[in-house]
Each structure stands twice: as structure tokens, then as C-alpha cells.
Structure 1
């Protein structure tokens, strides 16, 4: 009985399917099914109820999980104690980053690699951390704005100051904007939150405006490019558009308004599923990102 197979059993439970566990571990789904089947044969019992639509633990599987989690926690603690006394940190960390953020994050990720040269980074662009984290098997992912009710752990990183922006060409074509109340008459480009709702009520200190979206998208990067393509007005985090404003590609609208406070988050799986390398990366990002932004 291999420890990796025991951890695979726990991973399947945490992620809810053989497919999600396969994606998380970068192994074929058939491999997961075979290894769980072999584990059941060794134990002489069925651990999962399997249907075409769902996967759930049997009574024996539930009892086995409870005892196994305790044993694996003790094993991981022992490994951690040894690893912390070693100068060598190695392993793969899978990170999901949002569009338009790679230039901001690269120096911090490279600094971690310089400190731990045996570590490998698997970096993927994502549109929605909550939707993409398990299917892509990510250890860590970045998210901005509202949180979705989930088993994923969220760590607050920075405050996101959103601002109203448009391209100079759009303003030339449609006219300047002098009052917040006139935005509902303009083409606006709105974000779709992870839960599916549309961010078409833009909140400011003491004043809100409901806009009629011309375009809706769950990608901040797409919204930014649409605004730069003169398609309308966006309400975007300042860190995403700071360079374009400085270069004159975008213009800040109604800068005297103060938007309500929102935050950027670092999402990761439950602590018991994280490797020591992932924990070190999380600590690094949580410490360093607030210094930069």
C-alpha cells in the first residue's frame, strides 16, 4: 500500500471527482480510477459509491478517511520537521494568474525562484480563480473583488482602487462625462462575478449608479482591451490600467469620486493539502505583494 495512493484517495474526496484529482496531480483519469480500485482491493472493501453523475463515500470509506487523515497529518508533520532543517526546497507550484498581471507578478515569482532554485513553477492564465482552480489543479490563484462561498481559502492581499476609464477616442466620439448620473446613457463594459451576477451597479462613497452594459465578460483583461478599443467605459482596478493612463491610452473619468473599498485575494486549497513548497510560496506572496502595490 503506497502513501501516494492514500493521498490520492484524500485528494479525490477533497475535489469531489476522479477527474478533478487527475487534473490536480497531472495524471490520467484512468490512472486515478485504477489506483483507487487497487486500494479498495487491498482493503477488501468499497470506498466510493460511483454513479455517472456523482461520487460519494461509503460508510467504510468515511470511517477510513477519518483515521487516514489523522495518520497523514502526522506523516506530513514529520516530513515538515525534517524539511525545515534542510536547505533544499524543491517541488512544483501551480499558480493561476489573472490577465494583465504577469508583468506585475514576475519579479516576485522570480525572486522566489532565486531563493529556491530547485523549485519549478507552472504558471497559467485564468479568468476566474473559483471556476478554474480545481479543473486546472492549481495550488494558488489570484482573485479580485467579491468572494464566492467555497472550501477554498482566501487570504487578503491588497486594496483594489477601482476607477472609471475610457479611451480618448471614445470620449471624442461620444462626448465628455461630467456627472456620474449620465453613465447609464453611455456604453459600459461590465464584469461578471464568479457567482454569475453582473457588476452593473457601480458603487461610490455616498452614491451609486446602475449602468446598462453594452458588453459583459468574466475577464478583466478582456474588459480592459475592449475599453482600449474605444468600445465603452470600464470600472477597473487602478493597478490594471495605471500604465495605460500614464501613456495616454486611457483617461480617468470623474477622479473626484471615491469607489467603495475592494480587495485582491490570494486563493489556495486547504492547508492539509499544501506541500511545504506551496506554503513557502504563499508566505512569500502574502509578505511581498503588499510592499509593491
Structure 2
């Protein structure tokens, strides 16, 4: 019986399926199913009721899971104690970052690995924030907006606003609007949400305007690049356009208008034992990221 198989069992329980555990751990689903089967054979006990819809723990499985959590936490604490003596933190952290936020996040994560070169980072883009923590097996993830899952631990990172942005070339060619009502006459680039709807009503702190998009995309990176090449005006958080603004490729339009603030959170599961590597990354991000806005 291997420790990795025991951790695999707890991951299957926490994520609710062999498929979700396989995705989170980058394993073939057949591998997960086989190893759980071998564990059951070794224990001479059935751990799961298997149905076409979901997995459910048997009485043996539930007792085994509760006791394993204590054992695994103790082993992880022992491993951390050794790494702390050597003062060389090790481990792997899976983090979900917001799509197209890499311009801000990548230098921060690179700086973290410069400080802790023995910690491996598995960085994945996630547009669903806390909703994908369990599906993807993240140790932590970024989330923008309201939080609905009270079982998670949430650390506030910053408040962000959206602003109207365009390239100097676009403004030279089409003119700069003097009021938000004039946006209806401009070439506007709108975001398309995952449900297919287009965000063509832009809400500001005390007003709003509905625009007719000349271009729409579900990628904020594509929207940013389209603005840079002079294709129109869009409404994006500054965190997604910092480099382009610093280099003068994008400028603010009607700078007195901005959206209501949205909260950026770091969220992670309220599990027994957050690894030292994860704690170090959380504190690093909380220290560095607010300074980037």
C-alpha cells in the first residue's frame, strides 16, 4: 500500500468522481479506477458504491476516509518539519488564475520561484474561480466578484475597476468621444460570456450605455490585441492592459468614467492542512499583487 494511493483515494472522495480526480492529478481515468480497485482488494473492503451518476462512500469507505485524513495530515506535517529544518521549502502548488491575467501574475509567480526554486507550480487558467476548485483540484484560485461558497477560505487581494480603453491610432482615425452617449457611434469591442451572451451594456458608477459591437470575443486577450491594432474601444480592467498602457499602445477614453469596483479574492478549500508551499505562495501573492494595480 502506497501513500500516493491513499492520497488518490481522498482526492476521489473530495472531487466526487474518478474522472475529476484524474483531471486534477493529470492521470488517465483507467489508472485511477485500477488503483482504487487494488486498494479495495488490499483492504478486502468495498470503499465506494458505483453508479452511473456518481460515487458514494460505503460505510467502510467513510470510516476509512475520516481516519486517513488524520494520518495524511500527520505525514504532511512531518514532511514540512523536515523541510523547515533544511530551510528549503518543497512541494507542488496547483493554482487557477484568471484568463489573460498573465501579464500581471506571471512576473509575481516567477519571483516566487526565484525565492523558492524547489516549489513546483502548476498554473492553469480558470474563468470560473472558486467553482472549479474541486473540479480541477486546485490548491488555490483567483476569483472576481461575490463569493457564494461559505465553506471556502477567502483572502481579499484588491479591488478592480473597468475603464474605457483604445489605441491612440484608433482615436486619431475616428475621434475621441466627449460623452458616453457618443460611444453608440463608435466601433466597440464587447466580451462574450461563456453562456453565449454578449456584454453590450456597459455599467459605470452612476450611468450606463448600450453599444452595438463591431467585434466580440470570449477572450479578453484577443480584445486587448484588437484594441492595440486600432479596431475599436472596449471596457476592460486595467490589470488586463497594464503593459500596453505603460508602453502607450493603449490609453484611457473618458477617464472620468469607470465601473463599480469588483473584489479580487484568493480562495482555497477549507481542508485539514494547507501545505507550507501553498501558504508561502498565498502570502507572496497578497504582498506583491496589490502593488501591481
Q: Which residue of 2 is the match for residue 219 of structure 1?
A: 219
Q: Which residue of 2 is the match for residue 23 of structure 1?
A: 23
Q: Deviations over 1:90-136 (max 9, x none)?
A: 12233344455434334432332232222223334555545766665
1:272 pairs with 2:272: yes
Distance 1:186 1:84, change over 3 A: same
Q: Which residue of 2 is the match for residue 139 of structure 1?
A: 139
Q: Per-residue deviation at 1:163?
A: 0.8
Q: Which shows bigger deviation, 114-123 or 75-84?
A: 75-84
Give the 3-state SS of the residue equivalent to 2:272 in structure 1: helix
1:158 pairs with 2:162: no
For residues 263 and 113 of structure 2, the distance between their equivalents in structure 1, rounded to whole angstroms, comes to 26
For residues 40 and 121 of structure 1, the distance between their equivalents in structure 2, rounded to whole angstroms, comes to 32
Give the 3-state SS of the residue equivalent to 1:155 in structure 2: strand
Q: Which shows bigger deviation, 4-13 or 241-250?
A: 241-250
* Preserved contact between residue 181 and residue 209 of structure 2 (Cα < 8 Å): yes
For residues 31 and 216 of structure 1, the distance between their equivalents in structure 2, rounded to whole angstroms, comes to 41
Q: Per-residue deviation at 1:5?
A: 1.9
Q: Which residue of 1 is the match for residue 180 of structure 2?
A: 180
The alignment of Structure 1 onto Structure 2 pairs a total of residues equal to 292
Give the 3-state SS of the residue equivalent to 2:33 in structure 1: helix
Aligned pairs for 1:227-238 (under 5 A) are 227-238=227-238
For residues 205 and 193 of structure 1, the distance between their equivalents in structure 2, rounded to whole angstroms, comes to 21
Distance 1:176 1:114, change over 3 A: closer
Q: Which shows bigger deviation, 177-186 or 276-285?
A: 177-186
Distance 1:223 1:174, change over 3 A: same
Distance 1:195 1:282, change over 3 A: farther
Q: Deviations over 1:196-251 (max 9, x none)?
A: 76544433222223334444444321221232233332111113223323434223
Q: Per-residue deviation at 1:182?
A: 3.4
Q: Deviations over 1:32-63 (max 9, x none)?
A: 11111122223333222323443333344334
Q: Which residue of 2 is the match for residue 286 of structure 1?
A: 286
Q: Which shows bigger deviation, 28-37 or 48-57?
A: 48-57
Q: Per-residue deviation at 1:269?
A: 4.1
Aligned pairs for 1:185-204 (under 5 A) are 185-192=185-192, 198-204=198-204
For residues 242 and 113 of structure 2, the distance between their equivalents in structure 1, rounded to whole angstroms, comes to 27
Segments of structure 2 that go 5 or more residues without pairing to the other structure are none
Instruction: Provide the aligned C-alpha RMSD in A.
Output: 3.2
* Preserved contact between residue 95 and residue 121 of structure 1 (Cα < 8 Å): yes
Q: Which residue of 2 is the match for residue 45 of structure 1?
A: 45
Segments of structure 1 that go 5 or more residues without pairing to the other structure are none
For residues 182 and 50 of structure 1, the distance between their equivalents in structure 2, rounded to whole angstroms, comes to 60
Q: Which residue of 2 is the match for residue 250 of structure 1?
A: 250
* Preserved contact between residue 23 and residue 134 of structure 1 (Cα < 8 Å): no
Distance 1:216 1:2, change over 3 A: same
TM-score, normalised to structure 1, is: 0.81
Q: Deviations over 1:148-179 (max 9, x none)?
A: 64566543212213210123444455443121
Q: Per-residue deviation at 1:254?
A: 0.9
* Preserved contact between residue 49 and residue 57 of structure 2 (Cα < 8 Å): yes
Q: Which residue of 2 is the match for residue 11 of structure 1?
A: 11
